[in-house]
Amino acid sequence: MADLPIHTIVFEILTRVQAKDVGRSKSVCKQWYALLSTQDFVRIHCSRSLVSSNQRVLLIDDLTCSVRPIISKSNDYGPSSIVTFPFHHQNNDVSILSHLNGLLCVCLNHTYELLLWNPTTTAFKRLSTPDSHGFYINNLDAVGLYVDADDDYKVLHIKRRSGVLGVYVYSREVDSWRNIPFITRQEYLSPHFNWSAGTFCGGTVYFTVCECWLGGTKRVICFYVNSEQFKDISFPPVPSIGMVQGHWHV
């Protein structure tokens, strides 16, 4: 090992170990810390982690948070391990809004704050700011977590406040929020429309937007992450009666 180049150790060996071990490896030296924090390392590590043996289920109840591995061969679960919340919370307080490559976007219900949280490494980042960015209101807001062409993890936050719709993007690399234009039908601003959580697939974040009554309008809002443009497309044909739910499956 002593004769191996640092680049080989980091990108050929450490990209294949568990995220918790990557976190420990960052304390070896400053050079390792810098390399393990690059977007290239994160991208390669995530791609190599997407195998069935690494799949886990995160369970949150009123008092505890635990993780159980999925045993694909037996269609069963392995023993659970307790995850300690690294941030202050109250009972039944943490809502998971979006997830991507093991990273969660969550809301603390008692403060309305948005957080990015990695349950494996326990690292987290508060997204709230003094100028009121990063606060989420249930049934009015929608959130989508995605990664752009530069491998920068971002949060798309759609906010409805008093008949005004604002769209904001948080960049993990830059660590700041900015507003982007949203041009679509004005009625989507109404609280009579429900927005789903965003689903990221193929460079696009998808939302379903549905009116709250039977037979109401149903549409799909697409956000193209690299151009930061929105598109409004039709919902798949559905029966004219009864309740219909739409969910993006990737």
Q: Is the pLDDT of residue 37 over 60?
A: yes
Locate tokens 């969660």: which residue? 104
Cβ within 8 Å of residue 55, ≥6 positions away:
69, 70, 72
Q: Are 105 and 200 in contact (CB under 8 A)?
A: no
Q: Is the pLDDT of residue 80 over 70?
A: yes
- Give pLDDT, residue 84: 77
- Give pLDDT, residue 128: 94
Locate tokens 């956000």: which residue? 223
Please tell me the distance from the alpha carbon of residue 123 to that of residue 243, in angstroms, as a whole number: 40
First to last CA, the chain: 40
| Beta bridge partners of residue 231, listed in sequence order | 222
Strands 76-77 and 81-82: unpaired
**How many percent of the chain have pLDDT more than 70?**
84
Average pLDDT in the 33-48 region? 74
Q: Are 49 and 77 in contact (CB under 8 A)?
A: no
Q: Which one is predicted more confidently, 106 or 69? A: 106
Apex 108 CA angle, 20 and 187, nearest 5: 120
**Which tens digits make up the pLDDT trace of 202-240?**
899 999 888 876 667 788 999 999 999 999 888 877 666
**Which tens digits make up the pLDDT trace of 90-142?**
666 888 999 888 889 999 988 999 999 988 777 899 999 998 899 999 989 99
Pick the closest to residue 127 from 109, 111, 115, 112 (CA basis): 115
pLDDT band at 13 (very low <50, low <70, confident <90, very high): confident
For residue 91, how far is the Cα from the chain centroid?
Answer: 22
| Beta bridge partners of residue 199, listed in sequence order | 206
pTM: 0.77
Q: Is the pLDDT of residue 2 over 60?
A: no
